[in-house]
Structure formats: structure tokens, C-alpha cells
Structure 1
Amino acid sequence: MSIVLGAIADDFTGATDLANNLVRAGMRCVQVIGVPPHDLALEDVDAVVVALKSRSTPAPQAVTDSLAALAWLQAHGTHQIFFKYCSTFDSTDQGNIGPVSDALLERLGGRQTVMVPAFPLNRRTVYQGHLFVGDRLLNDSGMEHHPLNPMCDADLVRVLSRQTSHSVGLVSHEVEAQGSRAVREHLDHLAGQGVRHVICDTLDEADLEILAGAIVDYPLVTGGSGLGQALPVEYRRQGWLQDVTDAGRLAPAEGAPLVLSGSCSRATLAQVEHFLASHPGYELDPLALAEDNGQLEDALAFARTHLQDADNDGPVLIYASTTPERVKQAQKALGTEAAGRLVEDAMASLARTLVQEGVGRLLVAGGETSGAVVSALNIQQLRIGHQIDPGVPWTQAPIAGRAAPLSLALKSGNFGEIDFFTRAFEVLK
């Protein structure tokens, strides 16, 4: 089997985000969880996205994991490697975007790569090297309050320069307006000056198409999922990719509907509030979980009661999503890592138990929460289906002991419209 695009994603929801856009562009795609065994059976696949949990790990571990994923993809004859990170460039001054990009580029023998985090459909754009979320600079978008990777600088050239010893350059919108050839000439000029990493302005879909045309032969590209939607057209021009019918077709969904939300982003908080106005929900509190006061059992009992209620045919929500102030209180009392781990462990336990008891349609909000849930369910690969909202598709995974596959949606905290938690299940029908 030869893979056209092999992607290495630094978290689970980011991996699904990219896979979704590849399917929308006509590529049959599978997402694998962690580095798979060499003999993993993959049939009728054009793209494989390896989902790691490396966004917030120490940089050396992120590099080791990413290089292991690269080795697997190279062994399967992959044409191009894509390092996928968040459209909000989530990272710290120590990494992990710079160190991982350096390691991958060195292993591939490339002299330069591009950084294209923008996702215009989700209002993530880059202008003069500055990242915007909607009409706000990154550092004024709510990302400055991120509990693990607060983003307090919107200048991506400056951010990345703190993560790598190599030179960082810029392809401006002015250059992109002249087309793919002008972009490539500019990239070659920068490479001649020793510029190894290049931040790329991106205001709209046309910019992504121009960039894709300029870098389709690069051994390594990096960025958000927007670039992933633009690349397949170029692959077809290269003769690497054939047209397929309904690349996102899945089996019919079966089983009860459940939402688990651990994200504390502004978007998810609004989605939780909207959901609770008309559907049942139970809030988890890290401080109560730490005291072992039976809250986890109470949450299970709440879910069982409402999922078995004949008068309730809609989804049930269990959430730890809360305001930045309450997050800081929990982190101060318990420690940042311990507070996050308590929530992740609780969500993982809930998912494992409730899927065994009949939940067959599961929506998870938040990258860390998604990682914990997928690991708890021992999911090794996801077949990517149709989109719910930009960046979020339904997927399906085989689960031991279940005749039908589990339908699973993994939502990045910042993604989705306000009614996402309810509308997602309508889309699945």
C-alpha cells in the first residue's frame, strides 16, 4: 500500500480536524491512534493521520514520538508528510512546534518547510505573520487564558523564533496575490538565505490553494487543517490521487447518544450553556473528584437515568467545562497537571463504562479529553465520515464486544457553532 499523504498530528481532535478536511476534498482517510503496528491492515486508503498526544508533553518526548510516527509512514511509501498542529499555534516558548518541525525536516533531508496554521472557514487567519481568531489577535481571543498553552503573542515569526535555532521567514499576502510561482520563487530565495521555517499569510481559501500549488513537492509541510483541504487538488495534478465517490461514507449509527465535555474554551462554554437550556447535564468538579466524594458514581447514575428515560430521546451531557477563574482555582488547589488529570481520568472512566452499557453515539469536546477517552476505549483507528461543522466530522471505530461500530465525534474546544452538541446528532441521522 502506498499512502499519498501521511500526517502526524499533535493531538487527537487536531488529527480528526485534518482528516475531516481530507475527506471533504475526496481522500479516503483513516486516523490511527498512536504509532500503529507495522502490519496494521489498511484498505482503500489515500491518507493516514497518526494522532499523537504530543502538544503539551516535554519537547524531547514530542520529538521522539513524532519521529516514530514518521518512520512508520515512510515504511509505507508516503509521498508527503504533514505535521499538523492547532490553528491557534498552541505551544510554549520551548516548543513543541519548532523542535518537532526541526527533527522531521532533518530526518526527511529537506531544506525548508512552511507553517500554515490558518483555517479561514473557522475564522483563523494570518496577516503579516500575525494570527487572528475572528477579528481579534490571538493574544486577545481567549487563548491567552488556555490552561496548558496560553498564547500571549500573535506574531508567529516571533513565537516560532523562540522555539528554534534556525531562521524564520514570512511569505506575505502581497507575494501570494501574484500566484503559486511567485510564492515558490520567494520560498527558494529565502531558502538560499538559510531560512528554514516560513510563516505564510493566509486570509482565505484562495491563499491556501496558491500555497498548496507552491509546496506540493516539499517533503514536509506543517500547519492547520485548512491546508489539508487544498492539497488533494494538487495531488491529482501530480497523478498521485484518483477520484473516489463518497469518501466519507460510514455504516448506520446505533446506540444511545452521550456528550462528554472537558474543554474550557469560550466556544465550548457557550455550547454547554446552549445545550443545558433544553437537555440534561451533570457538572464534574475537579475539587470534588479529588476528595473522592462519590461524584463519579453520581455522574454515572445521572447518565444511566436519563439515557434509559423513554421520554428522553436526545443526548445527555456530562461536563467539566467551566470559566477561566474556576479553572485557576482548581489548578491552585490541586496543581495544573493533577487538576487536568482528574478530569481526564473521570471522563475516560465514564466513557468506558457507558459505551459498554450501550452508548453508541459519543461526542467528546476538548483535545485532552478526547485523548483520554480514545485511550480508555482502546481505539486504534477511526474511519473518517462526513462533517458536522468545519473541522469536526463523525468517525467510526470498532469496539470489542459491540456488533456495530461506535460513532464518535472528537471536537477541538474552539470549534463548532453554539448548537453543536444537539445538531451533531441530527447530522448523524
Structure 2
Amino acid sequence: MSQTLLGCIADDFTGGTDLASMLVRGGMRTLQVIGVPSGPIDADVDAVVIALKSRTLPADEAVAESLAALRWLQAAGCRQYFFKYCSTFDSTAQGNIGPVADALLDALKAPFALACPAFPENQRTLFNGHLFVGDTLLSESGMRHHPLTPMTDANLVRVLQQQTPRKVGLVRHATVVQGADAVRQAFSELQADGHGYAIVDAISNDDLTTIGEAARDALLVTGGSGVAIGLPGNFKRAGLLPDAACAAALPHVEGLAAVLSGSCSVATNGQVAAWLDSGRPSFAIDPLQLADGHDLVSKALQWAAPLLPNGPVLIYASAQPEAVKAVQARLGAQAAGELVERALSQIAAGLLELKVRTFVVAGGETSGAVVKALGVDALRIGNSITPGVPWTVGHGRTTVALALKSGNFGGPDFFAQALELAP
């Protein structure tokens, strides 16, 4: 492998592609790998993103997987490390953001890290330590109904403090607008006062650029993909990163196309509704029928086979919060999620046999399951479809084009938009 400058650990698959797209946008040739590689990777890249499925694992398992990823990245010679989590800070009082960040700091023998999930382009902003989704506090947004990580507190200083024994401080927006030197000074003062973390306000891309520049000498950065906007510039100013106009180049992928959706977020439900309203073909997966033993995988594939040559189809398990609660009440949240993921991953494998080579996938957990089922072990990252969601080309048993979308990202017409931009 060529010298890898930035080593990243993402706590889910779509989060990994979200971060990787931001780095490509900054001119870093970026490879995303699925899980910790078994050995070195022969790839001429500037950044590697190891995508885990650790967001909702028990905290000790998430820590173990993240440390294994860190060891691989250290062996690759990375100069800086990035722990990527969701722009809505998806976590619980038990973790996993705090425990994983603590373990990474300990392993790196680093005393301090910033934490900034803000992503203004996707309406995620931080002000006075409070996270907003659009004009709404996180705790009053649709995230309060998340089936696995319901976010009921918008004060991220308080949220992170529940997850770590390290002291959590705040760098307010009034400091950020003074520039990178002022932010670095704030970091130094917080560290001298015994803090291990600083939540950092950001309401614009300019703020994120400032924060990234302030993190120039940080061994570990934590946050959403937005704060990565400023990191490539640090390497360029240090003479370590040449201009790479072709950082986002992807090969063309021939074949049929399909959309798979397992997310039940507000944004994805809107995207499914837009697809249905357009009259395009769709097939709904009912978790309760799956639990009762109905073979919806075979039914979905039999339904799709004659339609695919005429255009993309949608197969979805997305549902409104009331329906999700009813399913979880009967099956349990984890069991219901695993049932849907397994069905959609088996459908993905069946679609591959039907010569589908372009997949749009909605939902982080769903994306992870689909990528595994398709036998993909690495993704080359291309241009963004919408902020945080790039097209990628996956390599494994078969070359496929993949758009892996976090549930909360994209406008109502995202599915059609993505397919129009497919490589």
C-alpha cells in the first residue's frame, strides 16, 4: 500500500461511505473496506475507511472491533485517525460513542479529542452544545422515535458525559468564528482543566473547515462526516497530499438496477412514498409475515424477475413509526431488525443472480447486510449523489455499483436521482 495519511473507523456502513465521500470531495483518493481486512491492501489511496457494524452492538463488542480496526490502520502507517459516528449522535447512555472513543484514545495514548457530529448541508447543526435537525432540537425530531437509539436529549455535552468517565467540555460558536487558532487555544485550555473531550459548535461549512484546521495536530478526531471537510486541507498544506482531480473516478457498471429499503426514518419513508406515488413497481416486506414463516424472499424475487428488464424496482420494509412499534411489540426491536436485514440481504443475493448490478440501499443496518450478501469487501468512492451519499463501486465476487444511504439522508426523489447518476 502507498502511504495512507488518514485512517478512519466508521460505526456503520452508510456512515463509512458518507465520510469517504467527504474525503473524496477534498481530493483524497479513498477506499472503504468492509470490516477489518485480514492483511494489507494493495491500493494507491490517501485514506482508508474501515466500515464496521458496531453502532448498536454491545459496547464491549463495539470497542473490540474498533480496536482491531485501529491496529490495522496503525500497521498501514496512518498519520491521523478518525472515529465516525452518525450526524444525529445515535447512541444510548451505555454507548457506543463514549466507550469506543475512550478505547481509541487509550490505545493511541492521546489525552484529548474533539466531538462534532454537525453536518449543516444535511440540516444537522450544533449551537451551544445542542444538536438541531433543521430548526428542530434533536430531541423533538423524528430521531426521538428511532427503534434502536432513540435520541431524547439534544444537549450533546450531557449525552456524551453519560457515556464516558472523561470530562466533557464545550467550544462555543463564538470561539469557532474566531478561527482555527482560537479553537486550538480552547482545546488546550479544556485539556489543561482536565477535560478529555470537547463538543464543538458548528452551523456552517466554514465552521467545519475551521474545526478541521484546528484538528491539524490531533491524533484522533471524532464526529460526523462534516468535520472531515477540513482535514484534507491540512495534508495539502503540509505537502503530503497532491491535487487529485481524478479522486472520484469510477468505472462504468453494466447490468440491471434495484432499490432496497430497510430504513424506517422519516426521510426514507418519504422517499418510498415518492416512489409509490410515481407508479413505479414496488414490493413490500412485512416483518410479521416473515416471522410467521411466509417465504417473502422467494415471492419478491419471483415478482421482480419479469419486471427488472423494463427498469428498476423497489423492495422495501420501511414503515411508519406506529407500524414499527407494533412489530417491535410482538417480535422485539432487535429480532425484528435482524429478520428484515436477513430477508433483504437474501433478496439482494437473489437479485444479483437475476443480473442486477446497480443497487440503491436505504438504511445503515440494511446496507451492511446487503454488502455482505453481495460478497463485497471493498468500495471505491465516487462523486456524491446528495451530501453524504456517494456512488461507489464494490469489488468482491462480482463488480457492482452501490449507493448506500443513511436512513435520514436525501430528499423525497432520492431513489430516482441516484439511479439517474449511476456509474
The answer to whether the aligner puts 1:343 opposite 2:343 as a matched pair is: no
Structure 1 SS opposite 2:233: helix
Letter in 2 for 1:346: A
User: Match for residue 108 of structure 1?
Assistant: 108
Deviations 1:373-397 (A, max 9, x none): 1111221100001110000011011
Q: TM-score, normalised to structure 1's length?
A: 0.97
Letter in 2 for 1:56: T
The answer to whether the aligner puts 1:425 opposite 2:419 as a matched pair is: yes
User: Match for residue 304 of structure 2?
Assistant: 303
Structure 1 SS opposite 2:421: helix
Letter in 2 for 1:115: A
Shift of 1:417: 1.1
Shift of 1:253: 2.2
User: Match for residue 19 of structure 2?
Assistant: 18
User: Match for residue 79 of structure 1?
Assistant: 79
User: Match for residue 363 of structure 1?
Assistant: 360
* Counterparts of residues 44-193 of structure 1 (less than 5 Å): 44-193=44-193
Q: Contact conserved, 2:212 with 2:229, CA < 8 A, in 1?
A: no
Structure 2 SS opposite 1:143: helix
Equivalent pairs counted in the alignment come to 421
Shift of 1:293: 2.0
Give, in whole Å, the separation in 1 of the partners of 2:395 and 2:48. 17
* Counterparts of residues 249-264 of structure 1 (less than 5 Å): 249-264=249-264
Give, in whole Å, the separation in 1 of the partners of 2:422 and 2:52. 26
Query: Unaligned stretches of 5+ in structure 1?
Result: none
Letter in 1 for 2:135: D
Give, in whole Å, the separation in 2 of the partners of 1:302 and 1:228. 42
Letter in 1 for 2:417: R
Structure 1 SS opposite 2:306: helix
The answer to whether the aligner puts 1:354 opposite 2:355 as a matched pair is: no
Structure 2 SS opposite 1:159: helix
Give, in whole Å, the separation in 2 of the partners of 1:172 and 1:96. 24
Structure 1 SS opposite 2:376: coil
- Bigger mean CA offset, 231-240 vs 317-326: 231-240
Give, in whole Å, the separation in 2 of the partners of 1:243 and 1:294. 52
Structure 2 SS opposite 1:305: coil
Q: Contact conserved, 2:40 with 2:76, CA < 8 A, in 1?
A: no
Structure 1 SS opposite 2:307: helix
Give, in whole Å, the separation in 2 of the partners of 1:399 and 1:103. 31
Give, in whole Å, the separation in 2 of the partners of 1:293 and 1:101. 42
Deviations 1:143-180 (A, max 9, x none): 00001000000000000000001100000001112111
User: Match for residue 372 of structure 1?
Assistant: 369
Shift of 1:356: 2.2
Query: Unaligned stretches of 5+ in structure 2?
Result: none
Q: TM-score, normalised to structure 2's length?
A: 0.98
Give, in whole Å, the separation in 1 of the partners of 2:326 and 2:274. 25
User: Match for residue 331 of structure 1?
Assistant: 328
Structure 1 SS opposite 2:305: helix
Letter in 2 for 1:376: A
Shift of 1:216: 1.2
User: Match for residue 271 of structure 1?
Assistant: 271
Deviations 1:228-280 (A, max 9, x none): 12211121112221111221111112111100000000000000000112211
Shift of 1:399: 3.7
Give, in whole Å, the separation in 2 of the partners of 1:151 and 1:143. 6
User: Match for residue 317 of structure 2?
Assistant: 320
Of residues 393, 400, 405 in structure 2, which corresponds to 1:406?
400
Q: Contact conserved, 2:12 with 2:365, CA < 8 A, in 1?
A: yes
Give, in whole Å, the separation in 2 of the partners of 1:133 and 1:31. 27
CA RMSD of aligned residues (A): 0.9
Give, in whole Å, the separation in 2 of the partners of 1:305 and 1:139. 45
Give, in whole Å, the separation in 1 of the partners of 2:307 and 2:333. 32
Letter in 1 for 2:38: P
Give, in whole Å, the separation in 2 of the partners of 1:133 and 1:391. 15
User: Match for residue 220 of structure 1?
Assistant: 220
Structure 2 SS opposite 1:428: coil
Give, in whole Å, the separation in 1 of the partners of 2:389 and 2:420. 14
Give, in whole Å, the separation in 2 of the partners of 1:253 and 1:417. 25
Deviations 1:186-224 (A, max 9, x none): 110110011001000001011111111111110000000
Give, in whole Å, the separation in 2 of the partners of 1:185 and 1:399. 46
- Bigger mean CA offset, 348-357 vs 144-153: 348-357
